[in-house]
Structure 1
């Protein structure tokens, strides 16, 4: 199985079908195949050899999609960069991955120049934006026009498709190695779930560096459907794209759904009749929000997908029928669904033994979609994938029908607005402040973001420190979404007899007696 296979099939079966729509630009599968083969050749001309990593730092676009296909087509490995990361985090990912080519659009051209200057080896920049190509960068369209098409390298199976960097539990991002076969297994699972009916149009509204967007768009890619693009999420942009491109499927996190359904644009009488399904992930959706969404978007199905980057990304799916009024009576709406096709899911104790139904344990997943491991981190890989089972770090229980209900996070991760924030990563930054003695970071409920990052700080004796100073210190070092939105100052942190910080005690005032300690 290989990610370029659907391109060959589409060209053979419906070459004149529209493959990509981006604003006023559109292209057929025939044209896309030619551009991909030429871009692959151009990247080889810039030095990309088999297995080399090529990074992308860009807002969503048709060119982003072309590059994600052209890199493996030419034998390379994609490294989609998180557009919300700081320069230091991006530079770490470039250095750790060994990326020597970086594709960048207008929004990040200036930042890319800084990264190029700080990179320890020559970093070739390719400008894939719509504006004038900055000095020192290769122009994307000129590269394609001047290159000869090359044959597909047909990287497949266990061959590395991409490195996807996620936040690190120990402070540094970690590169998740996803293979062609692993990604394709997730796509086939989604296809079997009926996620890509013939003739559909998928909207890239979530950021394309997220493996969730790659997975949800990928199933449409396998089917040979059309892809539509907006640079970044906004309710108006989503509505305009649905109306203009007759979008049928879109992936949104619950916070995006809330922003969309409550926005004035939804009261303007727009024609959204093409929309058939909204897939959401990162956290469950409240019944109140689901009711509002279904009232504003009658006839649209809602489905929840649960997974993680390390699972390429799918583990479970909660189908549309459990979101409808009759299905909700079965009590599955707050679940993350059941194991998808191609995966096994269990709830286990610390020793790996499965717990009885209804008992909380850790979610583990086995299947062809499990990552190959963490790039350059064999010890962490061995800790995380044991006997073929990916240990997710999520605490949950399974009911008698095989539905899992997430209740806590073993690895102490916060999900804010659909973004993963590891407490340890934020704590490591705050602890560097010269006036901080120690600290702990937790997630607290947020009406807007599901959870927000909250820091509990112990200042050094006699130090005068403000919440604003803590936040500003963090913003200089990590992405804005990881920075604390609120800060408490205390004389000491609660600890266990073994000296471990009792984060359950820190969370208690905010979560109260809720059974689920996640939003």
Structure 2
């Protein structure tokens, strides 16, 4: 079993079924498979062999999908990279992963040229027209051979190195084989009821493990249909759902928020949607309720997974949303989850401990980082660094990253609890809670708030709003108003950047 094998099977089983629609370019499963095979043979012709690392710096596209499955079919190890990263950040990933080949969109050719200077990269393939003579165009690399490549790829062969989002520092590369990635998709099929009749809309970036492994890989294994958007645009997203009768929608919380800001959002026919998934960052209950109203659908899934788990972990299903909205839920299929104290014992109900995972999709290791691997993987459990609580029914709720927890006057303050209150305020569009140094309290609870367009937030009124719902020590002592919040590509707020920025302002 290997991931590329399932595409070949579907090319035989459902050759005429629409597989991909990318901004008007359509491919049935037979055509999809042939495009993949042409690139696979082209990569072999360039000297790419089993186990070589092939890095991507591409926006969502059909060529991204072809490149992924071509790499899988020849036993290459795919290294998807965030196209928003700087050349120095890309340089680190190329060096650390030992990438041999990079496939990039033409707009990123200059970034790759700077980044690959001291790396092991031998060839750069440009989707479009290369401006540098040493680079090859994607079209030029394609072979005329449309048959499956004769490379024996096993389920235990490595498939992906997924770099963590780096919200607390340098990213680490989580290594996965074909079996682990298949299990990620299998977990979603069972947990969410995904089947071969799905019509997926891919608006979240495919370099991110959630969109890639949870939905693109699982959907292709099943023989479903994929509609791919190069960039996220709220209006285009609503139009696509209406026009293409999308059945499955996944987005990060910020995307749902943007959809709600479309003036005539309620006029679109979104009735084809069978389920909505959200994840990659916390989503305030108030935002979930508004999104349910928009979609006129209560089949929502809170997907709380880690890159190191493929991503997999825990989820709150639609039944759980009726009773436990705001919680993260219970372990997904093939996964176990616990919350433990510093000695590794399960915590009591109401206490706070570290969230740990065990299952068939957990990474093999952090690539070339034995010490970090040893610290994260203990007795078969992945120690996530997330703090969480457990209720009487076994529902787990993440409350903070260990590094983001605030200790103010000796009291622990968990940012998500305060952020959820801020999101209830009608003038608040987005909010983040951070701790800043304070001579009296050690750390002061501070809120960074983005107001709704044309709204004015009164700081004292907002503090009073919080006092009605929170203990006094949790109420923000300072409120900073900003136009935007820094986020990574998966939608997580980069709180370390906010701390650095505001510490400089207050220095």
TM-score (norm 2): 0.79
The one-character-per-residue Cα deviations of 1:128-168 (angstroms, maximum 9, x if unpaired) are: 24xx3434332222322545644263533332111111245
SS in structure 2 at match of 1:487: helix
The 5-angstrom pairing of residues 92-171 of structure 1 reads 92-116=92-116, 118-129=117-128, 132-136=129-133, 137-147=135-145, 149-151=147-149, 153-168=151-166, 171=169
- Aligned partner of 1:513 in structure 2 is none
The C-alpha deviation readout for 1:348-373, integer Å capped at 9, x for no partner, is: 11121222333321111111111001
- Give the deviation of 1:77 after TM superposition: 0.4
Match of 2:300 among 286, 299, 302: 302
Residue aligning to 2:45:
45
Quote the Cα distance in structure 2 between the aligned partners of 1:457 and 1:376.
39
Distance 2:318 2:362 in 1: 25
**Counterpart position of 1:285:** 283
Match of 1:498 in 2: none
Distance 1:78 1:121, change over 3 A: closer
In structure 1, C-alpha distance between the alignment counterparts of 2:104 and 2:39, rounded to whole Å = 15
Q: How does 1:312-331 map to 2 (within 5 A)?
A: 312-323=310-321, 327=322, 330=323
CA distance in 1, matches of 2:437, 2:313: 33
Partner SS, residue 32 of structure 2? helix
Matched residue, 1:206: 204
Distance 1:339 1:480, change over 3 A: closer
Give me the whole-angstrom Cα distance separating, in 2, the residues matched to 1:457 and 1:52. 50
State the alpha-carbon separation in 2 of the partners of residues 409 and 73 from structure 1. 37
CA drift at 1:208: 0.9
Paired with 2:76 and 2:102, the residues of 1 have a C-alpha distance of 13
Task: Report the counterpart of residue 484 of structure 1 in structure 2.
Answer: 498
The question of whether the paired residues in 2 share the 8 Å contact of 1:278 and 1:301 is answered with yes
Q: 1:72 to 1:457 in 2, by over 3 A?
A: farther
CA 1:144–1:454 in structure 2 vs 1: closer, same or farther (change >3 Å)?
Answer: farther
Distance, in Å, in 1 between the alignment partners of 2:493 and 2:197 is 39
Checking the alignment, whether the CA contact within 8 Å between 1:177 and 1:375 is kept in structure 2 is yes
Do residues 252 (structure 1) and 251 (structure 2) align? yes
Query: What secondary structure is seen at the aligned counterpart in 2 of 1:177?
Result: strand
What is the Cα deviation at residue 489 of structure 1? 5.2
1:78 aligns with: 78
Unpaired runs of 5+ residues, structure 2, are 407-414, 423-427, 440-479, 481-487
The CA distance in 2 between the partners of 1:169 and 1:304, in whole Å, is 21
Q: 1:450 to 1:195 in 2, by over 3 A?
A: farther
- SS in structure 2 at match of 1:484: helix
Aligned position for 1:345: 337
The Cα shift of 1:454 comes to 7.6
The alpha-carbon distance between structure 1 residues 363 and 71, as it changes in their structure 2 partners (threshold 3 A), is same
Q: Does 2:443 align with 1:451?
A: no
- Judging changes above 3 Å, is the alpha-carbon distance between structure 1 residues 241 and 109 closer, same or farther for their aligned structure 2 residues? farther
Q: Is the aligned partner of 1:63 residue 2:60?
A: no
Q: Structure 1 residues 491 and 210 mapped into 2: Cα distance closer, same or farther (>3 Å)?
A: closer
CA deviations over 1:59-103 (Å, ceiling 9, x no partner): 111110111111011110000001121110101100111112111
- CA 1:480–1:398: 2 relative to 1, 3 Å: closer
* Structure 2 Cα separation of the partners of residues 455 and 58 of structure 1: 37
Aligned residues: CA RMSD: 3.0
1:358-391 Cα offsets, whole Å, 9 max, x none, are 3321111111111001011011101100000000
Q: Deviations over 1:397-435 (max 9, x none)?
A: 222322101122224499xxxxxxxxxxxxxxxxxxxxx
- Supply the distance in 1 between the matched residues of 2:147 and 2:430 (Cα, whole angstroms): 45
- Give the SS at the match of 1:89: helix
* SS of residue paired to 2:301: strand
The corresponding residue for 1:512 is none
Matched with 2:235 is 236
Residues 231 and 275 from structure 1, CA distance in 2 versus in 1: closer, same or farther, beyond 3 angstroms?
same
What TM-score do the two structures reach when normalised by structure 1? Answer: 0.78
Query: What are the within-5 Å matches in structure 2 for residues 326-475 of structure 1?
Result: 327=322, 330=323, 332-412=324-404, 445=419, 447-451=428-432
For 2:451, the equivalent position in structure 1 comes to none
Residues 335 and 52 from structure 1, CA distance in 2 versus in 1: closer, same or farther, beyond 3 angstroms?
same
